[in-house]
Amino acid sequence: MGVTVLYSEIFRSIQGEGHYTGVPTTWLRFFGCNLECNGFGQDDPTDPSTYQLPYKDFDLIDVKNVEDLPVWKYGCDSSYSWSKKFAKIQKNETCEEVAKRLYDQMYDRHTHIAFTGGEPLMKAAQKNTVKILTEMERLLGRRNRFTNITWETNGTRRLDPILTNYLQSIQEEVEFFFSVSPKLWSVAGEKEGIQPEVVKEYHDLSDIGQLKFVCNGTDEAWDEIEDSIAKFRKVGVDYPIWIMPVGATEESQDEVAKEITIQTMDRGYNVSARVHCYIFGNQIGT
């Protein structure tokens, strides 16, 4: 057996956030992340002693697949894709098997492919991604190569030369898009979530991408967003800015969406909702 990939799910849906909203997309969600983002949805994201984290208390005794888990209101909505607690219900297959599953989910070669997580730019995930895409090329045939790929990343992991070299070899035919969602202290409870020099590496490889900030509407969050944007701009990252209301579920987004939308427009940025939640409901795998 070759190198295996630990992943949470492969599914077909639309892109629900940012620039490619509504585009048919085949998704691979890798297992593993360097951040936890337990502050999402909390009354005070900067005070871990007050956090409610239902994923920690969830009883897994009758759960065999990640698709059977609920979407939690507090903490990271994808905690099942990085917490060691959920490792036993992840899928583990070879790169060739994963590539075949992605290939079978595609509508055609133009189907958007998205790598998410967890964090899809963890070192092992980057190396496995090259193997997966190489095998997909074989399945599609060189003349029918896929046309666009997105990485949904937190923007804190440097690019491995293996991935960089591969992408440079296909960049004349394939669009690769870095959807960077920097994690804020005032929203996600992460102190090291803003890494402009790392994102500059992505930008140097592809100037097509976006910076997508999750906002809870507080003055502290807006101040941190503006300060973070200035840091990214200073190093030359000119990706468009998208602001998305905090909330893992449709209901929790609705609580702050209108106010944040107005503020976003007033500040001259783009508004993003989690459209897949409104269409498919609050469920994993959509």
- Are the CB atoms for 231 and 194 separated by under 8 Å? yes
Render each residue's pLDDT in the chain as its tens digit; 286 residues: 567 999 999 999 888 888 999 889 999 999 999 999 999 999 999 999 999 999 999 999 989 999 899 988 899 989 999 999 999 999 999 999 999 999 999 888 778 999 999 999 999 999 999 999 999 999 988 667 788 999 999 999 999 999 999 999 999 989 999 999 999 999 999 999 999 999 999 999 999 999 999 999 999 999 999 999 999 999 999 999 999 998 655 555 566 788 999 999 999 999 998 765 656 565 666 5
How far is residue 225's CA from residue 186's CA, in Å, rounded to a whole number?
Answer: 9
Set out the domains of the chain in order of their start, with CATH numbers.
Answer: 4-211 (3.20.20)
Compute the Cα dihedral for 172, 98, 115, 123 and give only its sign.
Answer: negative
Place of tokens 């994993």: 284
**Alpha-carbon separation of residue 269 from 2, 180, 187, 188, 264 (angstroms):** 45, 15, 18, 20, 5
- Contacts of residue 59, defined as CB under 8 A and 6 or more positions apart, other chains included, come to none
**Alpha-carbon separation of residue 156 from 77, 119, 196, 268 (angstroms):** 19, 9, 8, 26
pLDDT given for residue 143 in this prediction: 65
Element (H, E) at 251: helix 250-254
Q: Output the CA angle 240-115-78, nearest 5 degrees.
A: 90
How far is residue 67's CA from residue 233's CA, in Å, rounded to a whole number?
Answer: 39
Report residue 284 as tokens. 């994993």
- Are the CB atoms for 77 and 40 separated by under 8 Å? yes
How far is residue 99's CA from residue 92's CA, in Å, rounded to a whole number?
Answer: 13
How far is residue 219's CA from residue 249's CA, in Å, rounded to a whole number?
Answer: 23
Q: Closest by alpha carbon to 78, among 22, 144, 7, 143?
A: 7
How far is residue 4's CA from residue 6's CA, in Å, rounded to a whole number?
Answer: 7
Q: Closest by alpha carbon to 154, among 130, 178, 125, 187?
A: 178
Place of tokens 């440097």: 158
Instruction: State the virtual CA torsion across 96, 154, 215, 112 in degrees, nearest 10.
Output: -30
